[in-house]
Amino acid sequence: MKKTLELWSQWAFRICAGSLVGLLVLLTIRDQSHPTKGEVEDAKYLEKIESFVKVQRAHKVEPRPQMADDQRGSRATRRGISEQAPESARARG
């Protein structure tokens, strides 16, 4: 009986010790993989800055000059449109 009680107590002690060691290992791994409070705040700050920059760029975009779809030839270019002059103003040659 004494031998049986001794074996059961050793078995219970080993299970408890193994459970405690496993729990400590698990908690250590979890704490190491968890970001610190400063890292979380930095990430949130960077996200806010990125969204602010995107909004500012969206407001800063200037509309491009639009050209008529039905123009062909030299008039279809920006240069052709800006250089149009009345017939009387052109040099006669």
Per residue in 26-45, pLDDT tens?
999 988 887 777 888 888 99
- pTM of this prediction? 0.39
76 vs 62, residue with greater confidence: 62
Instruction: State the pLDDT at residue 13.
Output: 96
Residue 59 vs residues 8, 21, 46, 54: alpha-carbon distances, Å: 76, 58, 20, 9
CB atoms within 10 A of CB 67: 13
**3-class SS of residue 1:** coil
75 burial class (0-12, 13-18, 19+ CB within 10 angstroms)?
A: middle
Please give the Cα distance from 10 to 5 (Å, whole number).
9
What confidence tens digit (pLDDT) does each residue in 8-29 have? 999 999 999 999 999 999 999 9
